Chains A and B, each alone.
Chain A
Amino acid sequence: MTPAGLEISGGETALFWVIAPLMVLAALGLLFVKRAVHAAMCLVFVMVSMAILYIAQEAPFLGVVQVVVYTGAVMMLFLFVLMLVGVDASDSLTETIRGQRWIGVLIGIGLAAVLAGVVARAAFPPAVGLSGGDPGGIANPTALARVLFGDYGVAMEAVGVLLVTAAVGALVLTHRRRLTPKRTQRSVADSRIKALPDGVVLTPLPSPGVYARSNAMDTPALGPDGEQVPQSVSRVLRIRGQERPAPDIPAAELVETRVSAEEEA
């Protein structure tokens, strides 16, 4: 396809043949891996490789923006949601919509047919090279800016308005009216002080006990009177019933502590 005088360098060819198979592998991985985060990583790999190919074809602006926008922002948000929702294990394969699978297969076949038709009928004009695409030899971003904000200014504005509308719409849809007053740091502190007579402790709770034979979180601490302080063990452990029962604490240690406490007194 390359006309005379327009040769693709050996380096670029090598780069293509190294990256392209890896990209195909990653794209297949996107379809077949089980965990959602792995699929996202495959997609990120495809995007970054594509950016490298763009840069190799002397379109650095396109390549870099591809990474900044898609990989840096969009995929990061995807990953964020994946981690928040905790889609950890593989998804269940039960159909939630009746006949979903058959509809999917039909639409897939239709898309494949359309794509095959387009590819088969495509006729590539002879390549013109970069000098043809970059008239006047102006730098890449400058030329793009001229086109976007000069020739297609109205379209850009329309897209901008559309995006802002979508963002405002998302905010409106997820907005909830506040039913209770906002809890600030000050109001939380005040309510805790007010609850003081009801047995709320303002200071940090005592930490669990550390003795010669155990330094575990499940051992209750001993108070100054030598008695165990149950609140010192984490609430979660207490609810789960994983607190260390009192007889397990070596009697000798208890006595020692008590004696030393008395001595100090």
Chain B
Amino acid sequence: MNPLILAEAAPGVTADFSQETIWASIVKAVLIVVFLLTSVLFAIWFERKVVARMQVRPGPNWHGPFGLLQSLADAMKLLLKEDLTVTRADRFVYLLAPMISVFCSLLVFAVIPFGPSVSFPWTDWTTPAQLTDFPVAVLYVLAAASLGVYGIVLGGWASGSTYPLLGSVRSTAQVISYELAMGLSLVSVFIMSGSMSTSQIVDSQTQIWWFIPLAPAFVIYVISMIGETNRLPFDLPEAEGELVSGYMTEYSSMKFAWFFLAEYINMLNVSAVAVTLFLGGWRAPVPDGFLGGALNEGWLPILWFLVKLWAVMFVFVWVRGTLLRLRYDQFMVFGWKVLIPVALGWVVVLAVVQWLQRVQQVSFQQFIPVIVGAAIVFIAVMWFWPEKKEAPPGAGEEKEPVDAFAGGFPVPPLPGEKLPPSKRFGKEVHGE
């Protein structure tokens, strides 16, 4: 038995892979790649269309119905463009970098459950709608993401030029700091579901989806997932106003297309992880036991999964259409001084609460006074916290009338400044 492909029903994994053959795995892998590539084409169209509607313009509407074939045309254009290699580039690494990006982004969907076990009509053959799963599947997702950064870093370095290098240095720092916050927010899901296998995590959300009890962790995850994928407002490695287009400035044609592809697949990846870990995975958005659970069986859950996936993708586009890019130092300060401490504090609180509930057998009702007390203390502190008194500009200075004509032409007074009384004040107009 090949342990790489045919993991036996490992302990701690809900999905049952016992009927799996190597051919089934190959077919599933091909299906996933096809799904990802078509999804990327759709995602580009989706993003352009939604952003366009937010900016009150039609967006692509020329090629195909609703402009759906626009991204296909763009892909063809990229394929046929001249493939440049910069003279100062380190040729091998320059070629390798986009490949690393794409391959690592393709890895993640292997452990994402699209649905529960599906059975094929007219046969008694059932298989989980998921390529594979193992007890540390979510860590594997993190590992694939951290390897994918090498593509960006090496691409920037191998271009042998300043802007790409700056972009890749930024991206390194950005990904390292936001991966910490992301990992910490995932820890709370591990604590609640008691597992790191994706199928088991989906299984543990039968009663309630984790984004409700773990709301702070979900917020942290959403912020850091946008940081991880270099999307606006965190697209500092490729900020076109500052770095031309960052690490991919010197790339053209197909190599550029690969970076582009990797970015969109990464968006799909983090969205799928958000759906699986926080939004109930493939579970129908109805209470458990609705219609006898018929909505959670067979092929239907794949539909729920896709609907949720594209809802998260919509959030990506929405954020892009709404927020402005952060300044780099503010972005770093936000990551290290806000996100990571909050995530750490949340994990500690959650661990203590879980310990009280499971080991000390404290019921939820006994928690309510504590929660209410904490809320009252918090509100009281916020209420009585002395407001920061901002000194009015020019408060300490002598109030001296300014000469409005000092520079040769009249200027209005700045806040705090006072004009001298007008010479015409109180005079009468002499005339007729």
Contact = CB atoms under 8 A, between A and B. Distances in A.
Interface string B1-40: 1111100001111000000000000000000000000000
Given A61-B135, A76-B150, 16 more contacts: A9-B3, A11-B2, A11-B5, A35-B90, A37-B90, A38-B93, A48-B147, A58-B3, A64-B143, A71-B143, A72-B149, A76-B176, A77-B176, A141-B12, A141-B135, A197-B407
Please classify the interface of chain B as helix (H, G, I), strand (E, B), loop, or mixed, using the class held by over half of its residues: helix
A163 B142 CA distance: 23
B139 interface: yes
A139 B135 contact: yes
Q: State the 6 A-B residue pairs at the shortest beta-carbon distance, nearest first.
A: A72-B146, A11-B2, A139-B12, A67-B143, A139-B135, A64-B139
Nearest to B5: A11
Interface residues of B, number: 35
A84 B169 contact: yes
Nearest to A196: B407
Given A9-B1, A9-B3, A71 B147 contact: yes
Contacts of A76: 146, 149-150, 153, 172, 175-176
A61 B139 contact: yes
Interface string A189-203: 000000001000000
B154 interface: yes
Please classify the interface of chain A as helix (H, G, I), strand (E, B), loop, or mixed, using the class held by over half of its residues: helix
A9 B179 contact: no
B136 A44 contact: no
Nearest to B200: A139
Interface in A116-143: 137-142
Contacts of A84: 169
Given A9-B1, A139-B12, A37 B135 contact: no
Interface of B: 1-5, 10-13, 90, 93, 134-136, 139-140, 142-143, 146-147, 149-150, 153-154, 157, 165, 168-169, 172-173, 175-176, 179, 196, 407
Nearest to A58: B3
A136 B143 CA distance: 28
Interface in A85-115: none
A61 B136 contact: yes
A205 B20 CA distance: 66
Contact of B172 (A11, A48, A61, A80): A80
B143 A140 contact: no
A155 B154 CA distance: 38
B169 A80 contact: yes
A60 B111 CA distance: 13
B154 to A, nearest CB: 7
